[in-house]
A and B are shown apart, each in its own frame.
Chain A
Amino acid sequence: LAKTTQPISMDSYEGQEVNITCSHNNIATNDYITWYQQFPSQGPRFIIQGYKTKVTNEVASLFIPADRKSSTLSLPRVSLSDTAVYYCLVGDMRDTDKLIFGTGTRLQVFP
């Protein structure tokens, strides 16, 4: 099982870049790394997914080192609306035994 470890919480200010790191030391060859955002009383929202190196989309970047034992979600210029819980999920959708969410990181953005 690719158990994930994330910081429990982080604080930031509007306009800053936020980097949230997830450790997954026993990631398997077929595992992808996926990040979700969740607001209170809502389902998680897909942010970004990657396998290795760097992935960028319109809302975030995902950095994955060569050994894939960790990953970093980067949110550029956060706003108050980015206050949420962020989950890193590591697994292979064809092997649902590995779909275990960690504790998530509670990001608080201040004005």
Chain B
Amino acid sequence: GAVVSQHPSWVICKSGTSVKIECRSLDFQATTMFWYRQFPKQSLMLMATSNEGSKATYEQGVEKDKFLINHASLTLSTLTVTSAHPEDSSFYICSAYGTSSTDTQYFGPGTRLTVL
């Protein structure tokens, strides 16, 4: 139980384009989803928190107009990186928290974004 999927698992795009990453909770309802970014050999850094049906809350230093988050249903959240630049290249990981058996968040497998 408590499975979270992400799509795509990796993506390469040109600078200036937008990329959408999907995060789905497959066997439970996620009232809250989190988006993290992780650079090589570093820890996870929380970018934003989204609750189903409401606007996302962004961490300090994260541009909300650049990283658009939508959490339209209890099983799906999307992160859109707009006008991507090479410095946005990173490993993006989502997690979901909700009606699973333990009081914890469950993570997706991550999406490797490379911006050329």
With CB as the reference atom, state the residue of chain A lying closest to B110: A43
Q: Are A103 and B43 in contact (CB under 8 A)?
A: yes
Q: Are A93 and B103 in contact (CB under 8 A)?
A: yes
With CB as the reference atom, state the residue of chain B lying closest to A104: B43
Q: Are A32 and B103 in contact (CB under 8 A)?
A: yes
The answer to whether B44 has its CB under 8 Å from any CB of chain A is yes
Q: Could you list 14 A-B pairs, sorted by A, with CB under 8 Å?
A: A32-B104, A36-B107, A41-B112, A43-B93, A43-B95, A43-B108, A44-B93, A45-B107, A46-B102, A49-B102, A49-B103, A93-B103, A99-B46, A103-B43
Chain B nearest CB, measured from A30 CB (Å): 10
The answer to whether B109 has its CB under 8 Å from any CB of chain A is yes
The answer to whether B49 has its CB under 8 Å from any CB of chain A is yes
B14-36 contacts to A (CB < 8 Å): 32, 34
The answer to whether B73 has its CB under 8 Å from any CB of chain A is no
- Binary flags per residue of B76-116, CB closer than 8 Å to A gives 1, else 0: 00000000000000010101010000111111111010000
Chain B positions within 8 Å of A, measured between CB atoms, are 2, 4, 6, 32, 34, 43-46, 49, 57, 91, 93, 95, 97, 102-110, 112
The answer to whether A13 has its CB under 8 Å from any CB of chain B is no
Please pick, from A36, A45, A96, the residue contacting B34 in the complex, using a CB distance under 8 A: A96
Query: Sorted from nearest, which 9 A-B pairs have the closest CB atoms?
Result: A43-B107, A101-B44, A101-B43, A43-B110, A96-B49, A44-B107, A43-B93, A43-B109, A43-B108
Please pick, from A32, A34, A41, the residue contacting B91 in the complex, using a CB distance under 8 A: A41
The answer to whether A29 has its CB under 8 Å from any CB of chain B is no
Contacts of B103 on A, CB cut-off 8 Å? Answer: 32, 49, 93
Q: Are B104 and A41 in contact (CB under 8 A)?
A: no
Please pick, from B45, B97, B109, the residue contacting A42 in the complex, using a CB distance under 8 A: B109
With CB as the reference atom, state the residue of chain A lying closest to B111: A43
- Binary flags per residue of A27-60, CB closer than 8 Å to B gives 1, else 0: 0000010101000011111100100000000000
